[in-house]
């Protein structure tokens, strides 16, 4: 057990890859293409159980990490395999390991061709995503960040819908363009560090941050801004933030169900996570100065996403656009630079993962039965599939943000945070922070409109299309895989405290760094005692 | 009188051991040629002899690493440093891969095996001399040895018009470039009074005719630029690469290019350094750095944009090889601006590593292209690859790994290579170089389109006509497997090779020359 705990994160990253190789080897030997889903299910479940061991250790101290491992990878260029979790990454790791078995289950019968390759790619994707969330070395982070593209590219391209090739290539190129500039920024930072400490450079997040906090490494305003945008662009594309979001509807719509679920639930979080982890910590001044840009884009994204979602004739595309709106909320909360707003942002990342993931799974169920995503093809499903309708409506409510369900907590925190924020201008006549918060509020109303309208069109009324009359309700596997998601929605809606407590210290540190810092260190003692009191 | 006699009797400083690896390769070529004239029907023996020679030579090279040789052989004409040793290994690897990858082609098209293998070994010998040459004359001799052998190889498919065109074009334009290079060398000699590179480096600061030096170096940039296919001296590449048989194309895109880079690096980085307080040297240094940076920018943009438009995979790889010459230039220019000897060695090692990785990836890709292309490379369009992904999973997986490595995706050696060559350029902090790196990453992003296109046609499209995967001969399988393993292995564990490339033996040749 101790051995597992000491290498916990490494095991989490490697286990799915080993599983993928085993599945392919099994196929090569036996020519059996149907039992690999069991490989995938067992491995992902095992990974989830192992990830629960993270609860055995508490919240790390300010700037510290738990389950840390640091071994040289390529000493010739001073890059290390350095992993660890803190409050920021803790829940994202759990979210990943939690969603993966569910997405394996939802692909159980939906995938009809080349099953081995499909499940192998799912497993490889899990490795890459976990790597992104736990890596503390910039070069290795970049490595995982890029590596996650390849399995997703194949998932969309091979198993996707009609327009899959276009969607897959667009997805890949959009994301790759952004991240390549980040690579330049990472290498530049390496040399800036080398110059600052008069020694060899470093890719290590902790070392670079320490040099910045101690004032050894001071970025010039121009260099800082360039580096900030090089990082921010790649993350903004991943989130996606408004003008660079166009890959998302295509990728989401064309991807197979499991792919859409992972894309929505986990991959998008890599963007917001990256912004919080790297942009805020490394470039607090630039983050503060450019907050108005991101807030504006976030508000546009919220309203634009909602309006576009409203008019979609395609069920899956509609939900894809809700992601643009919801991720806009996350960005808004992050850039409010208030503790509440940022807590809400992290919480909303998890909520979005659970609710939108669930919505995509549910759409997948309908698609598997009817092989169409046109909303007009459906109608009155509540009569023939009552269980399905019930689950769908609960999930919708969670996505809209009904009190006592998870979405409410996140959106509420973000809006309160934005109201309390003073990041935007306050003029005699207008407090722009209020304006941003209220504009986001309109987004919540619009979300209710388009989702309830969708529910009405799909589930209520009479069954008009004869093909819908013989539809079967959800089977045991399908209900079984929805139950954990429903439980998560309720628990996170009713009792958010343990979730917020884990993230509390990390968020406070980031907030303090952005708001107080002109390179200054956080008063450790004050924060530590506060966190202790909270427990 | 007695003095005169004594001088004649003194043994010339010819220490054979210092160039033993090169000699072994040349000997292997001669043995192949002789053997072939007695047993013209043989097919495998000459390949085996060649492989044996390459292996022995590689072992000798590795043994030379780190030895503290300090003789004064060859009057300072032969270098003994990391540049030579690491590039030497790259060439030997390229030759071995080419022998393995060409077996199928040699078989089905009835190529005169012995001639081909002999030419290949002579070309390799020439390339090794280019890396080893510490004197402009030796470099030029090596260049010609390798070029002439390569001209012939490009035309080995005698009955094919495109192959003939390829050879002739390569020959005419290549000779033209050699002339430029030679004239440039002559002018540099005129300005500095020596052809020995360390001596040139020592005298650029006090060159008598700075203008001559500038013109000479510009002409050498044209000559070398042609050989490494930097835009705008690249126009010969697509036609030549498309016309030559696929295994030879793979060799040409990797070998002569890397060889030209090794001499290019030696002449410019080591021969035209920045000399403190010397205005002429300063102007020269600044000129060649900026010129190469600009050429690099043009090359990367042009190579990538042109590659997008290609429908033939060999042509696509040809244009992509232009772009890769541009990426290698990024490291090259970085080496030119290095402030210390260690930094310079690291940058040179980065270029060597990059070309090593590029060569092995490219040769692997061409091995598959030649396998799937059948006779005369008829099936080398993107359409011909439609839907083969799941029908020939191992081949398509290998080809995908190569494409991803050329693209520079993490977990492949191509990624490490890109990081390594970008590093020295960013380290210098020079604005032009930062722009060069930014262009390089934009170029990589553009290249995603055409490298992925191959993955798209293989895996995402359906096959319209029937297709059965070809039988893979064992030699070809060895080559492909070795390339895949190398690409993945050096993607994860590159430390040993980087270290090996960046600190080799002390620069005995430099020391000798300066004495």
- Give ipTM to 2 decimals: 0.87
pLDDT in the model for residue B294: 93
Pairing of strands A79-85, A66-74: antiparallel
Instruction: Judge contact between B331 and B66, C-beta under 8 A.
Output: no
Measured distance CA(A472)–CA(A476) in Å, rounded: 12
Measured distance CA(A1)–CA(A56) in Å, rounded: 11
pLDDT in the model for residue B510: 41
Out of B186-195, B224-233, B338-347, least confident range: B338-347
Q: Name the residue range of residue A404's domain.
A: 290-493
pLDDT in the model for residue B56: 94
Q: Is residue A346 part of a domain?
A: yes
Beta bridge partners of residue B196, listed in sequence order: B135
Query: Of B160, B110, B146, B81, whose CA–CA distance to B345 is shortest?
Result: B81
Q: Is residue A341 part of a domain?
A: yes
- Taking CA atoms, what residue in B is nearest to A146? B410
Give residues with Cβ within 8 angstroms of A220, minimum separation 6. none
CA dihedral B503, B505, B510, B515 (to 10 degrees): 130
Q: Is residue A411 part of a domain?
A: yes
Instruction: Judge contact between A47 and A97, C-beta under 8 A.
Output: yes
CB atoms B419 and A139 under 8 Å: yes
A491 to chain B, any CB pair closer than 8 A? The answer is no
Report how many Cβ contacts below 8 Å link chain A to chain B: 90
Instruction: Judge contact between B156 and B248, C-beta under 8 A.
Output: yes
- Taking CA atoms, what residue in A is nearest to B499? A76
Strand (E) positions, B227-365? Answer: none
Token pair for B208 = 């008598």
User: For chain B, how are helix, strand and coil distributed in percent, rounded to 5?
Assistant: 80, 0, 20
Token pair for B93 = 């690897």
pLDDT in the model for residue B298: 93
A360 to chain B, any CB pair closer than 8 A? The answer is no
pLDDT in the model for residue B4: 53
CB atoms A150 and B404 under 8 Å: yes
Instruction: Judge contact between A511 and A342, C-beta under 8 A.
Output: yes
Beta bridge partners of residue A426, listed in sequence order: A431
Measured distance CA(A391)–CA(B197) in Å, rounded: 78
A143 to chain B, any CB pair closer than 8 A? The answer is yes
The shortest CB-CB distance from B448 to any of A164, A172, A194 is to A172
Report residues of chain A scoring pLDDT below 70.
517-535
- Taking CA atoms, what residue in A is nearest to B458? A158
Neighbours of B438 (CB within 10 A): 17
Q: In chain B, what percentage of residues exceed pLDDT 70?
A: 93
- Taking CA atoms, what residue in A is nearest to B417? A77
Q: Computed from CA positions of residues A32, A36, A42, A43, in that sequence, does the dihedral angle turn out positive or negative?
A: positive
pLDDT in the model for residue B73: 57
Instruction: Judge contact between A88 and A507, C-beta under 8 A.
Output: yes
Q: Is residue A307 part of a domain?
A: yes
Measured distance CA(A154)–CA(A162) in Å, rounded: 14
- Taking CA atoms, what residue in B is nearest to A161? B460
Distance from CA of A231 to the nearest CA of B (A): 14
Token pair for B437 = 């790196």
DSSP A135: B
Helix (H, G, I), strand (E, B), or coil: what is residue A422? coil
A404 to chain B, any CB pair closer than 8 A? The answer is no
Does residue A123 or residue B163 have the better pLDDT? A123
A164 to chain B, any CB pair closer than 8 A? The answer is yes
Q: Is residue A77 part of a domain?
A: no
The shortest CB-CB distance from A181 to any of B427, B441, B461 is to B441
Measured distance CA(A114)–CA(A118) in Å, rounded: 6
Token pair for A362 = 């549910």
Give residues with Cβ within 8 angstroms of B130, minimum separation 6. B139, B142, B143, B146, B259, B260, B262, B263
Instruction: Judge contact between B490 and B411, C-beta under 8 A.
Output: no
Q: How many domains does chain A have?
A: 1
Radius of gyration of chain B (CA): 22
Q: How confident is the model at residue B234 (pLDDT cuts 50, 70, 90)?
A: confident
pLDDT in the model for residue B104: 82
Q: Is residue A324 part of a domain?
A: yes
Measured distance CA(B413)–CA(B405) in Å, rounded: 6
pLDDT in the model for residue A519: 39
pLDDT in the model for residue B261: 93
Instruction: Judge contact between B214 and B287, C-beta under 8 A.
Output: yes
pLDDT at residue B116 greater than cutoff 70: yes
With tokens 């390179």, the residue in question is A519
DSSP B331-345: HHHHHHT-SSHHHHH
In angstroms, the first-to-last Cα distance of chain B is 28
Beta bridge partners of residue A137, listed in sequence order: A204
Q: Is residue A305 part of a domain?
A: yes
pLDDT in the model for residue A523: 40
pLDDT in the model for residue A517: 52
pLDDT in the model for residue B67: 61
Angle between helices B431-455 and A149-159 (to 10 degrees): 30
Token pair for A269 = 């979080």
Read off the pLDDT of residues B6-19 as tens digits, 9 standing for 90 and up. Answer: 555 555 566 777 88
Q: Is residue A296 part of a domain?
A: yes
Q: Which of residues 178-197 of A touch B (CB under 8 A)?
A: 180-181, 183-184, 187-188, 190-191, 194
pLDDT in the model for residue B59: 92
A212-217, long-range: CB < 8 A, 24+ apart: A212/A282, A212/A519, A213/A513, A213/A517, A213/A519, A213/A520, A213/A521, A213/A522, A214/A521, A215/A519, A217/A192, A217/A193
Q: Residue B94 burial by CB count (10 A; 0-12/13-18/19+): exposed, middle or buried?
A: buried
Distance from CA of A93 to the nearest CA of B (A): 21
Neighbours of B379 (CB within 10 A): 15
Chain-centroid distance, C-alpha A15: 21
Q: Which residues of chain A make contact with B445, given a CB cutoff of 8 A?
A: 173, 176-177, 180
Does residue B76 or residue A397 have the better pLDDT? A397
pLDDT in the model for residue A534: 46
With tokens 């970008």, the residue in question is B422
């Amino acid at each position: 057990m101790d051995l597992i705990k000491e290498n916990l994160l490494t095991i989490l990253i490697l286990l799915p890859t080993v599983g993928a190789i085993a599945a392919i080897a099994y196929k090569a030997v036996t020519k059996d293409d149907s039992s690999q889903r069991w490989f995938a299910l067992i491995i992902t479940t095992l990974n989830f159980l192992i990830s629960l061991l993270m609860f055995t250790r508490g919240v790390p101290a300010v700037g510290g990490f738990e389950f840390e491992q640091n071994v040289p990878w390529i000493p010739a260029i001073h890059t290390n395999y350095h992993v660890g979790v803190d409050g920021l990454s803790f829940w994202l790791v759990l979210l990943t390991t939690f969603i993966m078995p569910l997405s394996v289950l939802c692909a159980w019968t939906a995938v009809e061709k080349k099953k081995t390759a499909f499940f192998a790619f799912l497993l490889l994707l899990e490795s890459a995503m976990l790597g992104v969330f736990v890596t503390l070395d910039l070069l290795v982070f970049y490595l995982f960040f890029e590596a996650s593209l390849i399995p997703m590219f194949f998932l969309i391209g091979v198993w996707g819908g009609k327009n899959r090739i276009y969607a897959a290539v667009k997805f890949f190129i959009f994301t790759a363009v952004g991240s390549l500039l980040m690579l330049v920024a990472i290498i530049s930072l390496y040399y800036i560090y080398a110059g600052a400490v008069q020694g060899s450079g470093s890719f290590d997040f902790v070392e670079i941050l320490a040099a910045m906090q101690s004032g050894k490494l001071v970025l010039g305003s121009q260099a800082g801004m360039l580096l900030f945008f090089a990082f921010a662009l790649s993350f903004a594309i991943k989130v996606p933030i408004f003008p660079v979001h166009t890959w998302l509807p295509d990728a989401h719509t064309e991807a197979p169900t499991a792919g859409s679920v992972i894309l929505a639930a986990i991959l998008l979080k890599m963007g917001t996570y990256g912004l919080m982890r790297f942009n805020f910590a490394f470039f607090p001044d630039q983050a503060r100065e450019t907050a108005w840009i991101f807030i504006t884009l976030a508000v546009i994204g919220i309203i634009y996403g909602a309006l576009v979602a409203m008019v979609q004739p395609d069920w899956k595309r509609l939900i894809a656009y809700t992601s643009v709106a919801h991720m806009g909320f996350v960005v808004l909360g992050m850039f409010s630079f208030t503790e509440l707003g940022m807590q809400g942002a992290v919480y909303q990342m998890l909520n979005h993962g659970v609710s939108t993931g669930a919505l995509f799974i549910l759409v997948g169920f309908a698609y598997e039965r009817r092989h169409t995503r046109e909303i007009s093809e459906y109608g009155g499903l509540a009569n023939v599939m009552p269980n399905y309708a019930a689950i769908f409506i609960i999930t919708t409510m969670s996505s809209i943000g009904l009190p006592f369900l998870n979405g409410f907590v996140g959106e509420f925190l973000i809006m309160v945070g934005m109201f309390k924020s003073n990041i935007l201008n306050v003029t005699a006549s207008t407090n722009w922070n209020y304006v941003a918060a209220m504009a986001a509020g309109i987004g919540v109303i619009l979300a209710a409109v388009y989702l309830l309208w969708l529910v009405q069109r799909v589930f209520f009324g009479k069954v008009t299309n004869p093909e819908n009359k013989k539809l079967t309700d959800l089977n045991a596997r399908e209900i079984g895989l929805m139950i954990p998601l429903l439980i998560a929605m309720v628990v996170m809606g009713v009792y958010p405290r343990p979730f917020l407590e884990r993230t509390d210290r990390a968020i406070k540190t980031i907030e303090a760094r952005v708001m107080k810092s002109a390179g200054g260190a956080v008063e450790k003692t004050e924060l530590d005692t506060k966190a202790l009191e909270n427990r | 009188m007695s003095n005169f006699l004594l001088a004649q009797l003194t043994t010339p400083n010819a220490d054979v051991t210092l160039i033993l690896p090169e000699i072994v390769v040349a000997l292997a070529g001669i043995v192949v040629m002789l053997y072939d004239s007695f047993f013209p029907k043989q097919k495998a023996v000459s390949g085996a002899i060649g492989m044996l020679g390459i292996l022995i030579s590689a072992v000798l090279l590795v043994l030379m690493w780190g030895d503290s040789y300090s003789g004064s052989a060859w009057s300072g004409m032969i270098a003994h440093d990391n540049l030579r040793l690491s590039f030497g290994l790259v060439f030997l690897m390229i030759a071995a891969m080419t022998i393995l990858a060409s077996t199928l082609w040699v078989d089905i098209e009835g190529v005169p095996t012995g001639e081909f293998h002999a030419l290949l070994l002579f070309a390799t010998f020439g390339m090794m001399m280019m890396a080893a040459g510490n004197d402009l004359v030796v470099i030029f001799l090596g260049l010609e040895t390798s070029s002439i052998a390569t001209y012939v190889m490009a035309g080995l498919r005698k009955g094919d018009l495109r192959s003939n065109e390829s050879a002739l074009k390569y020959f005419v334009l290549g000779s033209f470039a050699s002339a430029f290079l030679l004239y440039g060398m002559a002018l540099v000699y005129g300005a500095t009074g020596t052809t020995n590179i360390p001596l040139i480096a020592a005298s650029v600061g006090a060159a008598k005719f700075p203008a001559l030096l500038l013109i000479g170096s510009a002409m050498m940039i044209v000559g070398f630029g042609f050989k490494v296919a930097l835009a705008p001296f690249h126009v010969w590449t697509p036609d030549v690469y498309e016309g030559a048989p696929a295994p030879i194309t793979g060799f040409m895109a990797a070998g002569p290019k890397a060889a030209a880079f090794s001499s290019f690096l030696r002449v410019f980085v080591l021969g035209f350094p920045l000399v403190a307080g010397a205005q002429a040297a300063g102007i020269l240094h600044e000129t060649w750095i900026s010129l190469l940076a600009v050429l690099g920018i043009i090359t990367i943009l042009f190579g990538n944009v042109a590659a997008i438009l290609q429908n033939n995979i060999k042509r696509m790889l040809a244009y992509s090889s232009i772009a890769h010459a541009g990426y290698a230039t990024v490291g090259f220019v970085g080496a030119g601006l290095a402030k210390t000897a260690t930094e310079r060695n690291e940058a040179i090692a980065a270029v060597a590593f990059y070309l090593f990785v590029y060569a092995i990836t490219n040769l692997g890709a061409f091995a598959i292209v030649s396998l799937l292309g059948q006779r005369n490379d008829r099936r080398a369009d993107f359409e011909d690859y439609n839907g083969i992904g799941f029908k020939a999973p191992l081949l398509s997986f290998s080809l995908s790994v190569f494409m991803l490595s050329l693209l520079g995706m993490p977990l492949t050696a191509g990624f490490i290579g890109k990081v390594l060559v970008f590093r020295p350029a960013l380290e210098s902090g020079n604005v032009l170089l930062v722009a060069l790196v930014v262009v390089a990453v934009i170029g990589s992003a553009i290249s995603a389109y055409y490298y992925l296109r191959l993955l798209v046609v293989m895996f995402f499209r359906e096959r319209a006509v029937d297709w059965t995967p070809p039988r893979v001969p064992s030699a070809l399988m060895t080559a492909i497997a070795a390339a895949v393993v190398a690409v993945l292995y050096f993607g994860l564990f590159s430390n040993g090779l980087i270290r090996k490339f960046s600190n080799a033996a002390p620069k005995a040749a430099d020391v000798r020359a300066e004495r």
